[in-house]
Amino acid sequence: VFAVIFAVVIWKVLSNQQQTFSRRFISKCLEYKKDNNESYCQQIFHVFEKAYIGKPMCNVTMEDYDDLMAMVPFDHPCHQTMLWSKTNELVHKYTAKDEDKKDCFTLEDTLLGYILNDERWCGKKGSNETFDNGCDDCANSAVRSFWDSASAEFAEYACGNVTVMLSGSEEKPFNPFSTFARVEIKRLKHPFVKKLNVILVTGNKNVSNCAADNLNIDLQKALDSNILYSCNEVPESRIRECSSSSDTDVGCVACL
């Protein structure tokens, strides 16, 4: 009897956990779309979970998300693309604007980035459920492969002048292990992309500036040689001021 009760309790906990993740997914999708098209959001969730469901936790590849990426194309202006590395909080503060004034877009401003930002999820071999805890953080985890896949698409979609916000508090603002260095920079392609603007955020603990070899050599080597390059050091305080200004200039460097 105890064994049966125990099994039922475990089953309830697990199925509840799955409902929580999928419900959160659908409700964020509806929140973003604002058109109450629940069946579209459910369809996306179904294609999303196919990427990792029933697979060993550390065995999910970027390609497993191909169907999802094909199903949810971007629709933001490609010439207003903002990339970032190690500036998560600041870049999103800087780019946050009301819809009618929005002039600079990060991956988190797109449907999938919005839904999955700050989420954890994984599947398990032999199970058809989504888990949102107890997920290992490995190279081919469902979460990492998702961000690699979405970041690849996002960078390939970019055009014109692309901006990237990097951190001057890092010894290597262009960290070779970052998504920006591993996945995004090599997918910026001339002639779609004309120029890469680096905004290097400076503050009280600066360890690098625009003259760093890591930017002038490592980053520029990774960048398509036909794409122009510029680097500007901008104090964090200035970036924070810009976030609250109602500047309506177009683009990602309007207020700097």
Question: What residues act catalytically?
Answer: 78, 159
Minimum distance of ligand C8R from residue 8's CB (angstroms): 35
Residue number, 95 or 179, with CB nearest to ligand C8R: 179
Chain residues in the site for ligand C8R (CB under 6 A): 83-86, 88, 107-108, 113, 117, 143, 147, 151, 154, 178-180, 184
Query: Of 52, 25, 13, whose CA–CA distance to 135 is shortest?
Result: 52
Residue number, 119 or 247, with CB nearest to ligand C8R: 119
Sign of CA dihedral 27, 29, 34, 37: negative
Query: Of 108, 95, 33, whose CA–CA distance to 251 is shortest?
Result: 95
Q: Is 138 left (phi over 0), alpha (psi -120 to 50) or beta?
A: beta
Residue number, 33 or 92, with CB nearest to ligand C8R: 92
- Rounded to whole angstroms, the Cα distance separating 3 from 171 reads 55
The alpha carbon of 109 is separated from its chain's Cα centroid by a whole number of angstroms, namely: 9
- Rounded to whole angstroms, the Cα distance separating 3 from 217 reads 63
Sign of CA dihedral 65, 180, 78, 191: negative
- Name residue 91's amino acid: V
Minimum distance of ligand C8R from residue 84's CB (angstroms): 5
Residue number, 117 or 216, with CB nearest to ligand C8R: 117
- Name residue 139's amino acid: A
Minimum distance of ligand C8R from residue 175's CB (angstroms): 7
Minimum distance of ligand C8R from residue 90's CB (angstroms): 11
